[in-house]
Structure 1
Amino acid sequence: MATMTEWIEGARPRTLPNAVAPVAAGVGATVELGAFTWWQSLLALLVALALIIGVNFANDYSDGIRGTDSDRVGPLRLVGSGTAAPKAVLAAALTCLAVAGMLGLVLVVASGRWWLLAMGAACIVGAWFYTGGKRPYGYAGFGEIAVFVFFGLAAVLGTVYVQAGEISLAALGCAVAVGCFSTGVLTANNLRDIPTDRTAGKRTLAVRLGDTGTRRLYLALVTVPFVVTVALGFGSPLALVGLLAAALLVVPVRAIAGGNTGPGLIPVLRDTGMAMLAWAVLTGAALALS
């Protein structure tokens, strides 16, 4: 039976910046539009957190019962390691996804933005079928696209639209930037797992691109947010403060460019996530102040 510490590790807390960052950036863009509502922003944050934890448990369950995690380099997986029963992990995943769905429903009902129900349903379905079902799209190389859409475009623009009823160019820029950061985190993860994923028949984008191609993709992805920062700076010079987040990428970029493999890539996920969070907070604050 898994301990509380193991359950927390299984929830993969290092991925939480992927949920917090889009809301932080979205809130800044919402304030810039003069439409900020604190409780709606809080609900959006809770939805994002519940969704990403649900995704993590769902991936743990689905990969575990397939045997994909039997030989794993990264953080603890509950099912793959035999630490927790598959049914218990499945229950945790479904509970978190249900919480995300209920909180999202409250947010939609309160705001009256009814079409967002379809987007919320797509997020939950996407969360499950990433590694779940007979033909998980994460095993076919489409995981990066899903992360960009759900934890970039949907999360940022959803946070803005549910409060403002519109989106701005600044909000769209933030959505692209955060989406690229989130995709960069997944790319680093899949780069680390290329050998085991290839053996398990998991054809991620990293497996398809190969080691060199995946490293180039990561470097391109973490460059885009700073291009966005420069673009935002033309309308709001204060937004250039987002360039400070680049300092947090020095170490992970060196690890990627230097050819680190296996355990040497684990810190890259953490550092990229922290750079994303810093960029989102700095940029969101700049947009709000502008």
Structure 2
Amino acid sequence: MSTRTQEVSRGRAWLMAARPQTMPAAVSPVVVGTGLALGRGVFAPLPALVALLGAVLIQIGTNFANDYYDAVQGADTEDREGFTRVTAGGLIEPAEVKRAMWLTFAAAIVVGAYLVAVGGLPILIIGLLSVAAGVAYTGGPYPLGYHGLGDLFVFVFFGLVAVTGSYYVQAAAALGVEFLTLVPSAELVPPAAIVASLPVAAICTDILVVNNVRDVEEDTRTGKRTLAVRFGYGFSRAQFVLLLGLAYAVPVALAVTTDDLATLLPLLTLPYAATLTRTVLTETTGDALNPALERNGKLLAAFSALFAIGLAV
């Protein structure tokens, strides 16, 4: 264990394992779903708050899972350019991190029981799939992140599912729904909710893209076959730009089709996005891309907050 890791307190180590810098990916989908619920007159404060808590717990559980499984499978090495991982760094015993992962997911399930009571069978299915995906991202017999499926996982679960699910539980609380209804009506999951989820899905996925660009060399050595490893820097940089373009195209499309100029508020973040893009297109080192990851999270938070305001108005 290095002198640096020895100097880290236990509380600080657990905070590092929880990775608070990733919380915008958990909070932003709920914020956007709630903004849309406000705009469509179905806002329900308690389901929104519980959905937020559940999302944060699933995010933390997933972070614990990534920390543990990446370490035990040898994906985190001493040459790692990213933020310190507590399992690989010897800060916390692997068994403790694994136990914390399961306890956190269990807490998410307990919290989600209320949402199941409100939203019925669809929320039960979504909740269980979200927990399973959080583990399967780096664990299990076929880790998604190790086979180039991490991007799809993030786009679906942190974007499409999280935003539409946050809207759905509020609409279900306001309008009512039969517990055993498997396919929600368009009133409970309108096309607008799916469209509103796309920017969040895109920017969340871009966070993973930056992470994978930074880790290309280490992932290549350890056999982690991300899209960046499979197709190279050029592909991932093009992917980053296209996803960011999708994020900004949605507010413009909504403004054009609905004559609601408030949905253009996220465009205020374009200068910040431009500086981030410049870094991603020119840098590969951890010294440059670690700060870029944090800026990407801040971009997600700012974009989502402005987008939610525009949808609510």
TM tier relative to shorter chain:
over 0.9
SS in 2 for 1:133: coil
| Per-residue Cα deviation, 1:117-137 (whole angstroms, up to 9, x for no partner) | 111111010000111012212
Aligned to 1:208: 230
Q: What's the offset of the Cα at 1:259? A: 3.2
Q: What's the offset of the Cα at 1:169? A: 3.2
Aligned to 2:250: 228
Which runs of 5 or more residues in structure 2 are unaligned?
A: 1-5, 173-187
Match of 2:58 among 51, 54, 57: 51
Q: Distance in 2 between matches of 1:117 and 1:186?
A: 27
TM-score (norm 1): 0.96
Q: What's the offset of the Cα at 1:70? A: 1.7
Q: What's the offset of the Cα at 1:102? A: 1.3
Q: What's the offset of the Cα at 1:47? A: 0.6
Match of 1:196 among 193, 206, 218: 218
Aligned to 2:185: none
Q: What's the offset of the Cα at 1:91? A: 1.1
Aligned to 2:89: 81
Q: Which moved more, 1:202-211 or 1:111-120?
A: 111-120
Match of 1:126 among 122, 126, 133: 133
Aligned to 1:31: 38
Q: Distance in 2 between matches of 1:201 and 1:161?
A: 39
Q: Distance in 2 between matches of 1:143 and 1:80?
A: 21
SS in 2 for 1:131: coil
TM-score (norm 2): 0.89
Match of 2:67 among 60, 63, 88: 60
| Per-residue Cα deviation, 1:176-209 (whole angstroms, up to 9, x for no partner) | 1100010000010011000000100000111112
Could you tell me whether the CA contact under 8 Å between 2:119 and 2:168 is conserved in 1?
Answer: no
Q: Distance in 1 between matches of 2:119 and 2:166?
A: 14
User: Number of residue pairs matched?
Assistant: 288
| Per-residue Cα deviation, 1:64-98 (whole angstroms, up to 9, x for no partner) | 11121123111110111111100111111111111
Could you tell me whether the CA contact under 8 Å between 1:170 and 1:232 is conserved in 2?
Answer: no
| Per-residue Cα deviation, 1:37-80 (whole angstroms, up to 9, x for no partner) | 11110001001100011000001000111121123111110111
Could you tell me whether the CA contact under 8 Å between 1:9 and 1:76 is conserved in 2?
Answer: yes
Residue 269 in 1 paired to residue 269 in 2? Answer: no
Residue 14 in 1 paired to residue 38 in 2? Answer: no
Aligned to 1:108: 116
SS in 2 for 1:115: helix
Which runs of 5 or more residues in structure 1 are unaligned?
A: none
SS in 2 for 1:278: helix
Could you tell me whether the CA contact under 8 Å between 1:160 and 1:167 is conserved in 2?
Answer: yes
| Per-residue Cα deviation, 1:251-276 (whole angstroms, up to 9, x for no partner) | 21111122343321111111111111
Q: Distance in 1 between matches of 2:287 and 2:193?
A: 36
CA RMSD of aligned residues (A): 1.3
| Higher Rg | 2
Q: Distance in 2 between matches of 1:57 and 1:168?
A: 34
Match of 2:205 among 169, 175, 183: 183
Aligned to 2:48: 41
Could you tell me whether the CA contact under 8 Å between 2:29 and 2:163 is conserved in 1?
Answer: yes
Q: Distance in 1 between matches of 2:300 and 2:312?
A: 18
> Among the aligned pairs, what percent are the same residue?
37
Q: What's the offset of the Cα at 1:156? A: 0.1
